[in-house]
Amino acid sequence: MRPALKCEWTKLRTSPGTPWAVLAVAVATVGLSALAAGSVTCPCATDTTKLALTGVQLGQAVAAVFAVTVLGGEYGTGMIAVTLTAVPQRTTVLAAKALLVSGAVGVSGAAGVLGAWLAGRAALGDHLATGVRPLAGSVLYLVLVALLGLGAAAVTRGSAVAIGTVLGLLYVVPIVSTVVRDPDWKRHLQQVSPADAGQAVQATENLAALPIQPWPGLGVLALWAAAALLTGAALLHRRDA
């Protein structure tokens, strides 16, 4: 595992897109959050914590695309053949990538979420409640979205389809779930949709009315990420590269 990790770390560290992607996750998260918090004057009729973390909805796209390209890009350039020759234990390669992607997105996500909270604090003052769960949960959310992207890239062996699929899951499904009229179906859809369920972790008000509770909601997203990674690992193991 250690050599694989070192190998992947060197690739990640030296690829020119990485610092930009890490920066972009944080900037997107802070930027949209600040815009959202700045457009509201309190006393507010809204969940201020969730509001101050709005930028996660943009940061997740960057995190997902970054994670997809970490593996999908290798398929694009043919690098994957070299990687798998150097480290023939394919599951180990995927695990090493997952670990590094988690680390990178975790760091930039934490910076973004912290920045968003500070921006929210500046805009809303004491109206923004202090809670650890929404903040830590949002960082985990970004990490899990990235892992979902990595798994999708392993399944599709490329960037394009993986990006389309993950962004579809993150952005189209929530819209479908808002337009469904039947309340039971709506609730079920929001319980299983990775974005809707995962973002429940940001809620601080009116928890009883949520379709799914904060931590179980994040758990749903974790299941999605795990399923994608396991399927990806199995396919990577069995399939020709």
Query: In this chain, which of 29, 49, 60, 159 binds other proteins, going by CB under 8 A?
Result: 159
Distances (CA, A) of 108 to 17, 85, 105, 209: 14, 31, 5, 32
- Contact assessment for residue 112 and residue 141, using Cβ atoms and an 8 Å cutoff: no
Distance CA 116, CA 50 (A): 11
- Contact assessment for residue 225 and residue 151, using Cβ atoms and an 8 Å cutoff: yes
Residue 122 interacts with other proteins (CB under 8 A)?
no
Using the contact rule CB under 8 A, the part of the chain among 3-11, 176-184, 197-205, 209-217 near other proteins is: 176-184
Q: Which is nearer to other proteins, 56 or 100 (CB)?
A: 56
Residue 46 interacts with other proteins (CB under 8 A)?
yes
Using the contact rule CB under 8 A, the part of the chain among 49-57, 95-103, 113-121, 229-237 near other proteins is: 49-57
Residue 161 interacts with other proteins (CB under 8 A)?
yes
**210: phi then psi, degrees, rounded to nearest 5:** -70, 145
Q: Which is nearer to other proteins, 54 or 102 (CB)?
A: 54
Place of tokens 């050599």: 3
Distances (CA, A) of 211 to 78, 141, 174, 182, 188: 44, 18, 13, 14, 8
Its sign, for the CA torsion 29, 33, 170, 47, is: positive
Distance CA 135, CA 114 (A): 8
Tell me which DSSP letter residue 201 carries: G
Query: In this chain, which of 72, 109, 115, 151 binds other proteins, going by CB under 8 A?
Result: 72
Residue 44 interacts with other proteins (CB under 8 A)?
yes
Residue 146 interacts with other proteins (CB under 8 A)?
no
Query: In this chain, which of 29, 49, 60, 69 binds other proteins, going by CB under 8 A?
Result: 69
Residue 171 interacts with other proteins (CB under 8 A)?
yes
Q: Which is nearer to other proteins, 72 or 222 (CB)?
A: 72
Q: Which is nearer to other proteins, 102 or 177 (CB)?
A: 177
Residue 178 interacts with other proteins (CB under 8 A)?
yes
CB burial class (10 A; 0-12, 13-18, 19+) of residue 1? exposed
Write out the binding residues for other proteins, residues 9-38 only, by CB under 8 A: 32, 35-36
Site residues, other proteins (CB under 8 A)? 32, 35-36, 39-46, 51, 54, 57-58, 61, 65, 68-69, 72-73, 75-78, 158-161, 163-164, 167-168, 171-172, 175-176, 178-181
